[in-house]
Structure 1
Amino acid sequence: MKALIAGAGRLGTQIAQVLAAARNDVTLVDIDDGRIAELAGHLAVRLVEGDACEPALLEHAGAHTTDLVIAATGNDEDNLVISHLAKRQFAVPRVAARVNDVENTWLFDQRWGVDAAVPAAMPLISLIEEATGATDTVALMRLSKAGVDVIETAITPQSRAAGRTLAEITLPAGSVIATVIREGQPTVPSPQVRLQPGDELLVVSHAATEQEIHAAFQ
């Protein structure tokens, strides 16, 4: 699947990471050139700097040949404009849009080209399933073709892993940490990384259950 995500904030970046991990062709767009520079070299996706509300930018980013557009900016008006352009001008088969203000939910429908309206507070796994409309492909971030799962877990102040380094964490057999997301920024999971409350981890495993992964950190 070819996906274009507008908005490289925490949510857009996480979605891009998961879709890329599932071997999709992902392009991530953001108007902030500083944010794009921060992500360069950290994500296995194509990064494009510019305003996704501009048709020329969407065309440059590949909207004509994209299977999925996700408007994930922090501005509802921008997300509606991006969705409308994606559906009406570029005929993108599936368009999903983040709803930042619940009072605006009624706007996010087919009139604006939105196939799936996704509340910003929705859990990441559920959000990706809803946005892609393909639970057989991304259900619970399950990479069925590769025979592995990508499982998300978060560190809270109560987590026993809080304050410990990755080297001190014992994972179930056949499991590895793919990335640690801290303040929206993916980091290389070196053994010296010390986990903090608020950290989110993506763990790849071909044998362990979601409960076993959570138990290693919680």
Structure 2
Amino acid sequence: MRVAIAGAGAVGRSIAGELLENGHEVLLVDKAPTAISVERVPQAEWLLADACEITSLDEAALQRCNVVIAATGDDKVNLVVSLLAKTEYGVPRVVARVNNPKNEWLFNESWGVDVAVSTPRLMSALVEEAVSVGDLVRLLRFSHGDANLVELTLPADSSVAGTQISEISWPEDTSLVTIIRGNRVLTPHGEETLEPGDELLFVAAQAREEQLEELLQARH
């Protein structure tokens, strides 16, 4: 997979390092000469250019990329890069960094964003996930289909504790992705029985989140 990353700061370089370790091709693009630190990620391709300029993206051969990551520290730049990647070059997957949570509402398919990653929101979500039992925690928002990755730790008195997955009537547009039970990561199947303390990860439409939370909460 070929990935172009706009923004060669600490975030962009860290992402590049992870992707390279996983065997992907990576191109780092930044307009600041001081950001071009080839020695820090020597396996990556580097391009000194403005990722908001069509000529620069032509030089980067963005049409050859499977994924574009807009990872600069400027939300306006990330939106422009996302829009150009999707509309001008037809990049299949566009991931954008959200620096200011107040701008998160802009990072959707209208701007070419498939996945928006807000570091402040993600950190707060991880804190909530660590301390919340019985409350639905939104971990990640997907632009397409208005779906979110959400998590809930099953309380001891949940109405579905001790119930097989096949016997539960899940809300529409909701899919149980995985179950984390202690140190184990379980693939959900119909005969699996949910246990108190299970961390359940779902992909769910935003409109179904309240219904899902009600289903999993304590018995009344």
Is 1:92 aligned to 2:97, yes or no?
Answer: no
Q: Contact 1:86–1:95 (CA<8 Å) still a contact in 2?
A: yes
Q: 2:35 and 2:25 mapped to 1: Cα distance? A: 20
Alignment of 1:94-173 (within 5 A): 94-121=93-120, 122=122
Q: Contact 2:6–2:12 (CA<8 Å) still a contact in 1?
A: yes
Q: Contact 1:87–1:95 (CA<8 Å) still a contact in 2?
A: yes
SS at match of 2:8: coil
Is 1:10 aligned to 2:7, yes or no?
Answer: no
Q: Which runs of 5+ in 2 are unaligned?
A: 127-139, 143-182, 184-220
Q: Which amino acid aligns with 2:6?
A: A
Q: Which residue of 1 aligns with 2:158?
A: none
Deviation at 1:83, TM superposition (A): 0.2
Deviation at 1:62, TM superposition (A): 1.8
Q: 1:41 and 1:12 mapped to 2: Cα distance? A: 11
Q: Contact 1:40–1:47 (CA<8 Å) still a contact in 2?
A: no
Deviation at 1:13, TM superposition (A): 0.5
Greater Rg, structure 1 or structure 2? 2
Q: Which amino acid aligns with 1:5?
A: I
Q: Which residue of 2 aligns with 1:68?
A: 67
1:94-122: per-residue Cα shift (whole Å, max 9, x none)?
Answer: 00100000000000000000000011344
Q: 2:112 and 2:35 mapped to 1: Cα distance? A: 27
- The alignment's TM-score, normalised by the length of structure 1, stands at 0.54
Q: Which residue of 2 aligns with 1:30?
A: 30
Q: Contact 2:6–2:71 (CA<8 Å) still a contact in 1?
A: yes
Q: 2:141 and 2:56 mapped to 1: Cα distance? A: 26
Deviation at 1:43, TM superposition (A): 2.8
Q: Which runs of 5+ in 1 are unaligned?
A: 132-208, 210-218
SS at match of 1:79: helix
Q: Contact 1:2–1:67 (CA<8 Å) still a contact in 2?
A: yes
Deviation at 1:47, TM superposition (A): 0.6
1:139-192: per-residue Cα shift (whole Å, max 9, x none)?
Answer: xxxxxxxxxxxxxxxxxxxxxxxxxxxxxxxxxxxxxxxxxxxxxxxxxxxxxx
Q: 1:17 and 1:95 mapped to 2: Cα distance? A: 18
Deviation at 1:34, TM superposition (A): 1.9
Q: 2:89 and 2:70 mapped to 1: Cα distance? A: 14
- The alignment's TM-score, normalised by the length of structure 2, stands at 0.54
Cα distance, 1:85–1:20 mapped onto 2, change above 3 Å: same
Q: Which amino acid aligns with 2:95?
A: A
Q: Contact 2:16–2:41 (CA<8 Å) still a contact in 1?
A: no
Deviation at 1:41, TM superposition (A): 6.1
SS at match of 1:39: coil
Q: Which residue of 2 aligns with 1:44?
A: 43
Q: 1:118 and 1:130 mapped to 2: Cα distance? A: 8
Cα distance, 1:80–1:22 mapped onto 2, change above 3 Å: same
Q: 1:48 and 1:120 mapped to 2: Cα distance? A: 26
Q: 2:29 and 2:59 mapped to 1: Cα distance? A: 11
1:7-62: per-residue Cα shift (whole Å, max 9, x none)?
Answer: 011111100000011010100001111220x3346431001001000011111112
After TM superposition, where is structure 1 displaced by more than 2 Å over at least 4 residues in a row?
Answer: 38-43, 120-123
Q: Which amino acid aligns with 2:104?
A: T
